Amino acid sequence: MINIENGDPIVLTKALISCRSVTPQNDGAIEQLSHWLKEMGFKCDILNFKEEGTDDVLNLWARIGNDEGPALCFAGHTDVVPEGDKTSWSTDPFAANEIDGKIIGRGATDMKGAIASFVSATKKFLDERKNFAGSISFIITGDEEGIAINGTKKLLNWMDENSISFDDCIVGEPTNPKRLGEMIKIGRRGSVNGILTVDGQQGHVAYPHLAKNPIPILLNILNNLTSDQLDQGNEHFQPSNLEITSVDVGNKATNVIPQSASAKFNIRYNDNFNSETIEDEINRRLENFKNNFSLKLEHSGDSFLTKPGKLVSDLSEIIFNKTGINPDLSTSGGTSDARFIKNYGNVVEFGLISETMHQIDESVAVKDINDLSEIYYEVLTKYF
């Protein structure tokens, strides 16, 4: 375990990458981060959340400051996706080697580099301002890349039970497609997965009158489900989208009418819907097929939007001053832990470049880490 010393974000990034924290493993990442923050004067709580049938997950809540001013929180995750074929990497994915101005390693961009940048920025801020009105906090989970049961959601519930709150939050997800400064995420689409199942009656294909083929029924249902666009989108969101992701009968024979047929679909919906109204819309489209199918829906988060205000405008101005880029205010992409955080305060996402995340030879430019740390530092300075 290394000490915080001068808070160099490059050193901190490499130290975090060297922890092989593939979900739900931790390998010392949470403890290392807690060690740095304690050195800086933070009060830290390492929280182990568990649930039957799932892996235990370590999480971190850390806070410094007082209740006399605004409360800014930084949120992120130390867990990473598996490295895949290790032999395909140009270097050990957990050695954090620096080659040609880039640090190569799993989690470099998603999102250990951003965590290190915020820690570095916070140290610089605290070194200059021992006393400030307000508080700085960290919400860090080891369960973002996994099933997200024992992570941020439970940490937020724990905070609620202990009357802990914040006003604004920055999630350090890699939001920029190609260049640092291109994009701030001010919202996310909601997501719901569905499984449609139609039961028929198995039989010989030569005697269809003695069977009931579920496949044509399922195809008619899917046609009704997808025939009309869900909406046209709005100022901040693209149109809601329904995609069929699988159709299956599990039939290996060519002369048998199958017993059942099923289909899976996913809807990414904008803030024209919520979890209740999107279910209403699905059921409305299927009402002519009652008693012909079963439907199972699983929600992974509602859509949300942080309406542009001081947090967004200040961050945009700071990014422009540092990079010369006016960032897009976007709601694109998949889900993140911001879907839980938005219920507790204003939340935006801004981090590194997403181009290599989850890929072989995931990497981050040294310059981008340094620049991101300076942007976060300016945010802290302006915020307080």
Q: Which residues are catalytic?
A: 79, 144
Query: What span, in angstroms and rounded, lies between the C-alpha atoms of 48 and 215?
Result: 47
Element (H, E) at 262: strand 260-269
Query: What span, in angstroms and rounded, lies between the C-alpha atoms of 326 and 249?
Result: 50
Q: Which two tokens stand for residue 231?
A: 């909406």
Residues 308, 341 contacting (CB under 8 angstroms): no
Query: What span, in angstroms and rounded, lies between the C-alpha atoms of 215 and 209?
Result: 15
Residues 134, 65 contacting (CB under 8 angstroms): yes
Query: What span, in angstroms and rounded, lies between the C-alpha atoms of 292 and 274?
Result: 26
The label of the residue with tokens 């001053």 reads: 321
**Residue 53 CA from chain centroid, whole number:** 22
Residue 209 DSSP symbol: G
Q: Which two tokens stand for residue 149?
A: 């049961």
Q: Which two tokens stand for residue 136?
A: 């700085």
Beta-carbon neighbour count of residue 229 at 10 Å?
11
Three-class secondary structure of residue 221 per DSSP:
helix
What angle do helix axes 310-323 and 366-383 make, rounded to 10 degrees? 140
CA-to-CA separations, 117 to 22, 36, 373, in angstroms, rounded: 21, 13, 4
The label of the residue with tokens 């400064």 reads: 181
Query: What span, in angstroms and rounded, lies between the C-alpha atoms of 113 and 352?
Result: 8
Question: Which residue from 205, 243, 203, 238 is spatially nearest to 222, judged by alpha carbons?
Answer: 243
Query: What span, in angstroms and rounded, lies between the C-alpha atoms of 53 and 191?
Result: 24
